[in-house]
Structures are given as structure tokens and as C-alpha cells.
Amino acid sequence: MENVKSIKIFDTTLRDGEQSPGASMNIDEKLRIASQLAKLNVDVIEAGFPIASEGDFAAVKRIAETIKGPQIAGLCRAAVKDIDCAWEALQYAGERGRIHTFLATSDIHMKYKLKMSEDQVVETAVAAIKHAGRYTENIEFSCEDAARTRPEFLARVVEAVIAAGAKVVNIPDTVGYSIPSEFAALIRGLKNNVPNVDKAILSVHCHNDLGLAVANSLAAVEAGAEQIECTINGIGERAGNCSLEEVVMALRTRADILPFKTDIVTEHLYASSKLLSTITGIQVQPNKAIVGANAFAHEAGIHQHGVLMDKSTYEIMTPESIGLTQNKLVLGKHSGRHAFGQRLVELGYDLSKEDLDRAFTRFKALADQKKEIFDEDLDAIVADEIIRIPEKYKLVQMVTSSGSFAAPIATVAMEIDGEIKKAAMMGGGPVDATFKTIKKLTDSKADLLSFTVGAITGGTDAQGECTVRLELDGREVLGQGAHPDIIVASAKAYINALNRLALIVKARPSAHF
């Protein structure tokens, strides 16, 4: 196709995505995601909000030092202290380091949040850009709540920040309020009415409160936007962000009417989705576009017949195009270390020799319990053995007893800060008894918000996968655990959540776009 326009992909999974309830990640986990984003070949990785906490600063700094290829962005408010802190972390990326500063521009934000006039907002934004320019020319400015900003004032701000030195100007639909025709008109108006708009890249950052984030992003691109800000699996605050895999595959699949391209290596999309779910414990719904479990499943007889005759009858893209292999059965008890390691590589995991040895030991133990090992089992092994946070609390052993005529009792031994402790409690069921015992041993004040159980694969020998959501002082975390014994899996999930709570950092400033 002639005159195909290149669209930049700005991934904010590690910043906006991490603001999903329970999605907090430690530095090593963020680095794994960043490495996967580099494999995907995204143009920009927004690594975090450096001034928000020591943990965020350290993560941005480590990613800037380590990841090669994509530009590395750090978010900061339009304030000198924020900008200085951001560059202190980003400087290790050199010219690839991007200072991303923001300020609200809508009437409602200026009146109730900023308490600033239009002139003050423009003055503050310009001053922020000029201060950032002391460090780098790679500067992005975001007009927070742009979709609800008066077009005339938005154009004034955009023109001013470009004149001050912004190389990228982001137009966020911060609260997911806009609809495609309206959002396209907003972008088109800026392209037509801002005299110096050709001196900067126009970006969009759409939220999904009305389920229109991808649609709005595509409409904006058709109207002239050149960068899309998005997240893996569409995670993010409230209903989330524009889904990276959906918007990228929409552009690729409908290239017949959308003359745009990205540099994303789409064969890494499925592995990226699984890795994020494994790290955060936030699973995608089965009917999620592109990466959901049912995305390439055909149950209706007429659909099955059509797919068997020719896949194009009901599949508009191939599973292989997103890195989804068709052969689910992979390994058994006689499989060797090489085959095991190779399959993990194919699933998107890059493990050190030490981590591979630990995972292989767990694999062999599981293979003695299960006849067949599936990809989903391997994901669970990596989640349990490798992608785990520092453990203040460790499960040593446990025994439960229950029955139709017996009160459920759980006896649990844990290692807490290096000391072995043991207790037993009764409960309404074996899981309830287990959670009560763990809570007693850890003296936890956290409230249990939800507990879910699922089978990782089919069959009566399937591993159970449990997810626990805990809340403490307004902070929510997700814990996950997998084991052939569902009660043990439950205990591991609860303890995993407690370990995540132990790592929670101090409250961060909000950045709601």
C-alpha cells in the first residue's frame, strides 16, 4: 500500500497500567515487563513516575540503565522538583530518555483542582517545558483532560508548549468520556488550527470508561494523530486504557482501509499478555479480543465446519500472528531440561540458569503428579518459582482436615522473618480455616475482598489456580498461587498477597490521564 504512515506505540503498562487496583509490581517484575516490551519493539516505554516513590524512581533508573532500543519515558508534573527528579532517573538512557510532563487544561480541572486561570496554566506549562529543555530535547507534554477542554483553549496550549520546545504533545481522553467522531474532530481541529503543529508529534491517550478507548485511538489516527499511548491487556485505572494488542492488530488486520503501520513484532503479543497476567495476577476475560482464551475458539458447529474447510471463513487473523501456538500439549515426565527450557523461551520467558534449574525441579515434581504438562502449567510454574517477590512470609507445610461430620481444621507452619511459627484454627471450610490460621500467624489486619479458584487445565489432575485480593488502609493487592492441591494453592495465594502488602510503598501523587 502506498503512502503508509508510521504510528508510534507508546506503552504505559508500567505507569498507568500499574495504577490498576492490585497491579503493583516490584523492580524486578517491572524489568521483566520492560524487557518484553523491548522484544515487542514498542517505540516508547513509560517506565514510571519517578517522584512518586523511591521504588518508582529506582525502577525508572534501572530500566533506563538496562533496556536498549525503545525510548524510556518518566512522568512528572509541571513542577521543577518533579522534572529534576525525572531526569535524574532518566539520564542513563541518554538521548532515549524522555521527560513526560503534564498539566490539566479543562475548565473543571482548572477551577476545582488547579485553581488556576487560563493564563496561569499556559505560563506554568511553558515554564515546565523550558526547564525540561535544560536536560533534553526529548520532551512530551500532556494536556490532562484534553477531551473535555474547550477546543480554542486547547489549541492555545498546544501551540504554546510546541513553541517552548515540546517535541510530542499528548491529547488524553482522561476520563474516557469522548466518542470516536467527537475525538477525531478534536484532533482534526488541532491539526488544522495550530500553526506550529507540524513541529511536534501529536499523541493520544484514551481511557476505556465507555469501552471506546481503541475506537477513539483509531479515529484519532485517521484524523492525524501519530502516536498511540496504550497498555498490554488494556490495564489501567478504572476501566483501563487503550489495549496495545487490540489497536495494533486492528491496524494490521484492516490495512486495506487504514493506511498505517506500527513496528510492533506482533508474534510477541500473546507472550506479553501472559507475562503481565502472570506477574500481576490480573487475568484477561475469556472473550477478550486478540489474547482471550476464546479469541480463536469455535464452538458452534457451523463455525467449526467452516474453519476446518478454510480458516479465513471465521478467523480474520491467524493465531500464529500473535504468537499463539496450536499445539497445547508440550511436555511429560520424560521430557529433558533442553526441551523444557526451549518451550519456556517459546512462551516468552528468558530465565537465568539458576532460575531455569529451579523451574525444572518444580516441573519434574509436577510431572510426577500429572501425566501431561500444558503451557498453562508452565506459566504457573514460572509465576510460582521465578516471578515472585521477596518473601517475608513463607509456607513451610500445612495439613487440613474436613468432612461432612467434622469441623474443618487447618494446621499451618510458616517461616516469618526467618523464624518458624505454627498454629491451628477451625473455620467454615478448609480454605476458611487455612486463611484464619495464616492471619493469626502473621497478625495481619488486611481484609479479604475476593477469592477465586480455577483449574489451569482440564482433567481431575489439573493444577488449581487461586487468586486472592486483600485490602489494607485503602491499598489493594492481588496474590496468586498454583498447586495440584487446591487448599495449598489457596494458602500460597493468600501468603503471596501478604508479601505484596509488605512491599507496598508510600502513597504516590495521582496522575490521572
C-alpha cell at 382: 514460572
Is residue 512, in this structure, part of any structural domain at all?
A: no
Domain range for 453 is 393-502
**Which residues are CB-neighbours of 146 under 8 A, at least 6 positions away?**
105, 106, 154, 170, 171, 172, 173, 174, 186
Q: Kindly report whether the global pTM for this prediction surpasses the value 0.85.
A: no
* Domain total of the chain: 3
Domain CATH number, residue 222: 3.20.20.70
From 368, 385, 402, the end of a domain falls on: 385
Q: State the pLDDT at residue 312.
A: 65
Express each pLDDT in 275-311 by its tens digit.
898 888 788 888 999 999 888 764 444 444 454 455 6
SS3 per residue for 368-409: HHCCCEEHHHHHHHHHHHCCCCCCCEEEEEEEEEEECCEEEE
C-alpha cell at 41: 519493539
Under DSSP, the state recorded for 13 is: T
Of 330, 364, 385, the last residue of a domain is 385
Whether the Cβ atoms of residue 60 and residue 47 lie closer than 8 Å to each other: yes
Instruction: Work out the burial of residue 107: count CB atoms within 10 Å of its CB; fewer than 13 is exposed, 13-18 middle, 19 or more buried.
Output: middle
Burial class from Cβ neighbours inside 10 Å (0-12, 13-18, 19+) for residue 447 reads exposed
HSE value, Cβ hemisphere, 13 Å, CA-based, for 335: 25
Q: Which backbone phi and psi does 248 adopt, to 5 degrees?
A: -70, -45
Fill in the DSSP letter of residue 258: -
Same domain, yes or no: 69 and 212? yes
Query: Which candidate, 228, 211, 272, places its Cα nearest to that of 11?
Result: 228
Residue tagged 482433567 (cell numbers): 459
Contact 439, 463 (CB under 8 A): no
Instruction: Read off the CATH number of the domain in which 436 is found.
Output: 3.30.160.270
- The pLDDT profile of the chain, 513 residues, written as one tens digit per residue, is 568 999 999 999 999 998 887 777 889 889 999 999 999 999 999 999 999 999 899 999 999 999 999 999 999 999 999 999 999 999 999 999 999 999 999 999 999 999 999 999 999 999 999 999 999 999 999 999 999 999 999 999 999 999 999 999 999 999 999 999 999 999 999 999 999 999 999 999 999 999 999 999 999 999 999 999 999 999 999 999 999 999 999 999 999 999 999 999 999 999 899 889 888 878 888 899 999 988 876 444 444 445 445 566 667 899 899 988 654 545 777 788 888 888 888 777 888 888 889 889 888 888 887 767 777 788 778 877 776 667 889 999 999 999 888 899 999 999 999 899 999 999 999 999 999 999 999 999 999 999 988 877 666 667 888 889 999 888 888 888 888 899 999 999 999 899 888 877 433 444 545
Shared domain for 215 and 363, answered yes or no, is: no
Does 477 lie in the same domain as 337? no
Report the alpha-carbon angle 223-227-232, nearest 5: 120
The answer to whether residue 122 sits within a structural domain is yes
* CA atoms within 13 A of residue 252's CA, in its CB half-sphere: 19
CB atoms within 10 A of CB 428: 11
Q: What is the C-alpha separation between 504 and 474, in angstroms, rounded?
A: 11
Same domain? 93 vs 64? yes
Same domain assignment for residues 361 and 243: no
Residue 513 lies in a domain: no
In a domain, 325, yes or no: yes
At 65, phi and psi to the nearest 5?
-75, -30
Same domain, 21 and 100: yes
Domain-located, residue 172? yes
Q: Is 131 annotated as a binding residue?
A: no
**Does 285 fall in a domain?**
no
207 among the known binding-site residues? yes
| 16 annotated to a ligand binding site | yes
Half-sphere exposure of 438 (CA within 13 A, CB side): 29
- Grid coordinates representing 457 are 487445565
Q: Which of 249, 258, 248 is nearest to 223 (CA)?
A: 258
> Within this chain, do residues 134 and 208 fall inside the same structural domain, yes or no?
yes
Task: Determine the Cα–Cα distance for residues 511 and 460; give it in Å rounded to an integer.
Answer: 46
Report CA dihedral (172, 175, 177, 180) to the nearest 10 degrees. Answer: 40
How far apart (Å, rounded) are the C-alpha atoms in residues 289 and 52?
33
Do 327 and 209 share a structural domain?
Answer: no
Residues 238, 347 within the same domain: no
- DSSP assignment letter at 292: S
Residues 397 and 430 in one domain: yes
Task: Tell whether 375 and 447 lie within a shared domain.
Answer: no
pLDDT of residue 508: 44
Contact 159, 189 (CB under 8 A): no
Range list of β-strands (E), 375-509: 393-403, 406-416, 419-426, 447-455, 464-472, 475-483
3-state secondary structure of 470: strand
Query: Distance between CA atoms of 153 and 302, rounded to whole angstroms?
Result: 55
Q: How far apart are CA 239 and CA 214, in angstroms?
A: 12
198 and 344 in a single domain? The answer is: no
Nearest residue to 299 (alpha-carbon basis) of 281, 314, 277, 319? 314
Q: What does the pLDDT read at residue 489? A: 92
Q: Is 208 annotated as a binding residue?
A: no
User: Coil, strand or helix: which one is 171?
Assistant: strand
Return the bridge partners of 151, or none.
none
Let me know if residue 510 belongs to a domain: no
What are the counts of helices (DSSP H) followed by strands (DSSP E) for the chain?
A: 16, 18
| Cell triple for 481 | 498461587
Mention every residue, 6+ apart, whose C-beta is less than 8 A from residue 366. 373, 377, 381, 463, 484
User: What pLDDT sits at residue 19?
Assistant: 84
Query: Given this model, what pLDDT does residue 460 score?
Result: 66
Rounded to an integer, what distance in angstroms lies between the CA atom of residue 194 and that of residue 414?
63
